[in-house]
Amino acid sequence: MFSRLSMCCSLACRLMYTFFQILYGAWKISGSGGPYVSIFGGARFAQDDPYAHKAHALAGMLVDANISVLTGGGPGIMEAASCGAVNPKSTAKSIGISVKDLGEGRNPCVQIYFELDHFFARKWLLTRYSSAFVVFPGGFGTLDEMAEVLTLIQTKRIKPVPIVLIGKEYWDPFMHWIKTEAIKHGTVSEKDVALFTVTDDLHQAFCLVRDECAVT
């Protein structure tokens, strides 16, 4: 009996701690001024990679329009976006939300940074505050973040927002699988595919997310 009570108390304490972490994150983000666009992408890209250059450029375009940039705060695409978002003349900020014990560390450019214990807490904050999402090439983590946003829209848990995938060459096999397998087997519909845009054109990507931010 005592052991079960102790386990329940421990679980309750962990849940409360996570809840307060989310509250703290919400306070940090909401106090930095919006609107916000989340940029997802792999942590393993070097800063001289073409996709890193594109992330840097797009983030610069966003903050020039006073749109703050949310990332995971780490290296790779996240660092490129954070560095591109540094603009003293803009009211927009670069915000990084990391998860503890990833071993990635804080990138040198992120202006507002904090760490959480759990991935789900980070994804909740990114989803809750973002008016649009830009997805650069990445690995399992990037796919997980993109799939969660798509699932939330698909199931009407959040309203449809722009989701832009950068890199036609990178995402082409993914699109091929959707069109030749997922749609064929009925696991994804044509309507679901319309939830996102694949492009190499940064101006198109910027216009899609900027227009949504202007509406919100």
CATH number for the domain that contains residue 106? 3.40.50.450
Token reading at 4: 């079960």
pLDDT at 7: 63
pLDDT digit string, tens, across residues 51-103 = 999 999 999 999 999 999 999 999 999 999 999 999 988 999 999 999 988 87
- Give which of 35, 88, 32, 34 is closest to 60, Cα–Cα: 88
As for how many domains the chain has, the answer is 1
Phi-psi region of 101 (alpha: psi -120 to 50; beta: other; left: phi over 0): left
Token reading at 151: 């699932």
User: Is residue 38 over pLDDT 70?
Assistant: yes
The answer as to whether 2 is a domain residue is no
150 with 191: CB under 8 angstroms?
no
The answer as to whether 4 is a domain residue is no
Q: What percent of the chain has pLDDT over 90?
A: 72
The answer as to whether 3 is a domain residue is no
The answer as to whether 6 is a domain residue is no
Q: Band of the pLDDT at 8, cuts 50, 70, 90? A: low
Cis amide leading into 35 (omega within 30) = yes
- Give which of 100, 126, 93, 133 is closest to 114, Cα–Cα: 100
Q: Band of the pLDDT at 31, cuts 50, 70, 90? A: confident
User: Is residue 216 over pLDDT 60?
Assistant: no
- CA atoms of 64 and 133, how far apart (whole Å): 17
* Run of H or E residues at 147: helix 140-154
Q: Which residues pair with 115 in a beta bridge?
A: 98
Q: Which residues pair with 70 in a beta bridge?
A: 38, 95
The answer as to whether 10 is a domain residue is no
Instruction: Give the pLDDT mean for 4-22.
Output: 71
The answer as to whether 102 is a domain residue is yes
Pairing of strands 130-135, 68-71: unpaired
Instruction: Give the pLDDT mean for 166-172.
Output: 98
The answer as to whether 1 is a domain residue is no
Q: How many residues does the chain have?
A: 216
Task: Supply the range of the domain harboring residue 164.
Answer: 15-215
The answer as to whether 5 is a domain residue is no
In whole numbers, what is the pLDDT of the chain averaged over residues? 90
Q: Band of the pLDDT at 211, cuts 50, 70, 90? A: confident
pLDDT digit string, tens, across residues 108-159 = 999 999 999 888 888 999 998 999 999 999 999 999 999 999 999 999 999 9
Instruction: Give the pLDDT mean for 4-25.
Output: 72
